[in-house]
């Protein structure tokens, strides 16, 4: 079982937490458990053992489950996450802040955290993950301004921060992002939304 490198158990409606044996899957690199009823904390996923040059996670999809609690603040410092390209945790009752350490994930291309219960600011440090192409943060309780660096990521093709509590002027950006991706933030203004009032 420790030789398993890909695990896809999506859409099975499992109703439990991940067993502690999961941490022994030292060669597992791609994990897809979306659309189940799994619960508990994310710690068991993030503390997975990794073999030498093997078992570093390339992709994680735990969306549409019942995982709760905050996302580990040190998620980007974990060795097992060093080659992570896709992190999808959408539609879970996850609270707390978006960890600043996600910016340390140098291979991260896809970050989907929409439909959770996240709060606080969008960390400027996310812009340090230079390969990011997709950043979905809609339907949370995020507040404050949108960091200019994130809107101007070179590879950014999809961003959605709608239905939060964001405020201030949307920074100038080159990416073509529709107004709908900023909608539902009553304090936001500036293109592509209505101009800010003096």
pLDDT digits (tens, 9 = 90+) for 76-105: 998 889 899 999 999 999 999 999 999 999
Mean pLDDT, all residues of the chain: 88
| pLDDT at residue 47 in the model | 75
| pLDDT at residue 61 in the model | 95
| pLDDT at residue 82 in the model | 87
| pLDDT at residue 1 in the model | 43
- Among residues 195, 190, 114, the alpha carbon closest in space to that of 122 is found at 114
* pLDDT surpasses 80 at 13: no
> 86 pairs with which residues across the strands?
59, 110
Which runs of E-coded beta strand occur in the chain? 6-8, 30-32, 39-40, 59-61, 66-67, 69-70, 86-88, 94-95, 110-112, 119-120, 134-136, 141-144, 158-160, 165-169, 187-189
Q: How far apart are CA 76 and CA 83, in angstroms?
A: 10
* pLDDT surpasses 70 at 16: no
For the segment 96-118, the average pLDDT, to the nearest whole number, is 97
| pLDDT at residue 139 in the model | 98
- The answer to whether the beta carbons of residues 62 and 42 sit under 8 Å apart is yes
- Confidence label for 42 from pLDDT (cuts 50, 70 and 90): confident
Q: How far apart are CA 72 and CA 173, in angstroms?
A: 30
pTM, two decimal places = 0.90
Between strands 59-61 and 86-88, the pairing is parallel
Of 9-23, 53-67, 113-127, the poorest mean pLDDT is in 9-23
* pLDDT surpasses 80 at 3: no
75-113 burial: b if 16+ Cβ within 10 Å, else e: bbebebbeebbbbbbbbbebbeebbbbbbbbeebbbbbb
> 158 pairs with which residues across the strands?
134
- Confidence label for 4 from pLDDT (cuts 50, 70 and 90): very low
Q: How far apart are CA 2 and CA 27, in angstroms?
A: 6
User: In CATH, what class is 6-189?
Assistant: alpha beta
* pLDDT surpasses 80 at 2: no
Residue ranges of domains in the chain: 6-189
For the segment 19-26, the average pLDDT, to the nearest whole number, is 71
Q: How far apart are CA 122 and CA 135, in angstroms?
A: 11
Tokens 């990416």 correspond to: 175
């Amino acid at each position: 079982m420790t030789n398993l490198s890909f695990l896809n158990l999506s859409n099975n409606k499992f109703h439990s937490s991940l067993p502690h044996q999961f941490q022994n899957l030292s060669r597992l690199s791609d994990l897809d458990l979306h659309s189940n009823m799994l619960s508990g904390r994310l710690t068991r996923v993030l503390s997975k053992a990794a073999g030498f040059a093997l078992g570093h996670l390339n992709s994680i999809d735990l969306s549409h489950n019942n995982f709760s609690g905050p996302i580990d603040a040190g998620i980007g410092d974990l060795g097992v996450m060093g080659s992570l390209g896709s992190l999808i945790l959408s539609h879970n009752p996850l609270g707390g802040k978006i960890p600043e350490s996600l910016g340390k994930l140098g291979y991260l291309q896809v970050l989907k955290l929409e439909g959770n219960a996240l709060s606080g600011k969008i960390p400027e440090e996310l812009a340090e993950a230079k390969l990011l192409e997709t950043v979905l943060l809609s339907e949370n309780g995020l507040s404050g301004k949108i960091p200019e660096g994130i809107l101007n990521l070179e590879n950014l093709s999809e961003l959605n921060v709608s239905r939060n509590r964001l405020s201030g002027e949307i920074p100038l950006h080159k990416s073509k992002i529709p107004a709908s991706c900023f909608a539902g933030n009553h304090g936001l203004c500036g293109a592509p939304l209505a101009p800010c009032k003096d």
